[in-house]
Amino acid sequence: MKNIILIGFMGVGKGSVAREVVKQSGMIAVDTDDIIESMENRRIKKIFKEEGEAYFRSLESKVAKWLQTSVTDTLISTGGGFYKVDQLNKIGTVVLLHAKFNTIYQRIIEHPNAKRKLKKRPLFQEIDKARDLYDARESAYIKQADIVIDVTGKTVDKIAKELLKKVKKR
């Protein structure tokens, strides 16, 4: 199986779904934000604060090039803005986890670690700004995706099963 790339808005559940897909498939998984944090030895929040967003985006491009040339058979979860990198589909099958903004926001605030989840995301500091960002990105996410999975009201178990089934069919 070639790479699977999970894209979608902040808080939609890319990390949780990735962990469940690993459990069900035994695939190796990496996360682009984790790769960037280990390259830089500092948190995303700190990178944004100290270097700005453009610098962070340049790191995403660098990671994308490495994934294209050097990674196979891997489940790749990404930061919410990673979908913008050049030639995303050269990395593998692009799977969008999709839900309405309000569903995503609800999911975040209902989480026991809601405060931490919001704090670590520089682009989710104000709900109105986050909603604008969602509106600006929604159609672009769909355009980039080979497979769209509506996650609304589904358990991670169900989402992971649906994902693996749809990827295998391709």
**According to CB under 6 A, which one of 24, 93, 111, 122 is a site residue for ligand S3P?**
122
Interface characters, 18-57, with ligand S3P (x: CB under 6 A): ---------------x----------x-------------
User: Which of residues 79 and 92 has its CB atom nearest to ligand S3P in the complex?
Assistant: 79
**According to CB under 6 A, which one of 4, 6, 10, 95 is a site residue for ligand S3P?**
10
The minimum distance between CB 124 and ligand S3P, in angstroms, equals: 7
User: Which of residues 13 and 92 has its CB atom nearest to ligand S3P in the complex?
Assistant: 13
Interface characters, 58-97, with ligand S3P (x: CB under 6 A): ---------------------xxx----------------
The answer to whether 123 contacts ligand S3P (rule: CB under 6 A) is yes
Q: Distances from the Cα of 111 to the Cαs of 11, 13, 72, 106, in angstroms?
A: 10, 11, 33, 9
Total residues binding ligand S3P (CB under 6 A): 9
* Bridge partners, residue 28, by sequence: 74
The answer to whether 130 contacts ligand S3P (rule: CB under 6 A) is no
What's the chain look like in SS3? Answer: CCCEEEECCCCCCHHHHHHHHHHHHCCEEEEHHHHHHHHHCCCHHHHHHHHCHHHHHHHHHHHHHHHHHHCCCEEEECCCCHHHCCCHHHCCEEEEEECCHHHHHHHHHHCCCHHHHHHCCHHHCCHHHHHHHHHHHHHHHHHHCCEEEECCCCCHHHHHHHHHHHHHHC
Which residues of this chain interact with ligand S3P, rule CB under 6 A? 10, 33, 44, 79-81, 121-123
